[in-house]
Amino acid sequence: MGLLAKEMALATMVHANRLAAEEELRLKAAENQDKVDAATERRQANLRKRAKVGVVAVRQSASKSRRDALAALAIKHGELNQTRCMQAETTRQAELGNRVFNAQELSQPKSGRFEPVE
């Protein structure tokens, strides 16, 4: 048997082993998924069995109240940011107006700036 034939036989064997390992992994994954599904169903059945009347409604209203509170907080935060931005813009405009006024004053000839007051 030549070297090339041995390499081909080895490659075929490795490929077959890889396929077998992948199939075994798929079977184990399916088995584990079945276990997880069964455990989830048992847990949900247990919760349904122990749940009192109205518990679902109470939980739903609590989560709704929490979502409403978070939404109100976000709106309030946005309003505060908007107010702060408006105040900053007003301050910036005042500073800019002051700079423009000073620039205009300095651009006049010196004799025109210091006229005697009558």
At 10-52, the pLDDT tens digits run: 999 999 999 999 999 999 999 999 999 999 999 888 877 777 7
Q: Are residues 5 and 47 in the same domain?
A: yes
Residues in the chain: 118
| Domain with 12 in it | 1-52
Least confident of 70-74, 90-94, 103-107: 103-107
Q: What is the value of pTM for the model shown?
A: 0.37
Calpha distance 58→60 (Å, rounded):
5
Calpha distance 28→6 (Å, rounded):
33
CB 95 within 8 A of CB 87: no
Q: Are residues 10 and 34 in the same domain?
A: yes
Calpha distance 83→80 (Å, rounded):
5
Residue 85 token pair: 């931005």
Number of folded domains in the chain? 2
Show the DSSP H helices in the chain as ranges. 3-50, 55-107, 110-113
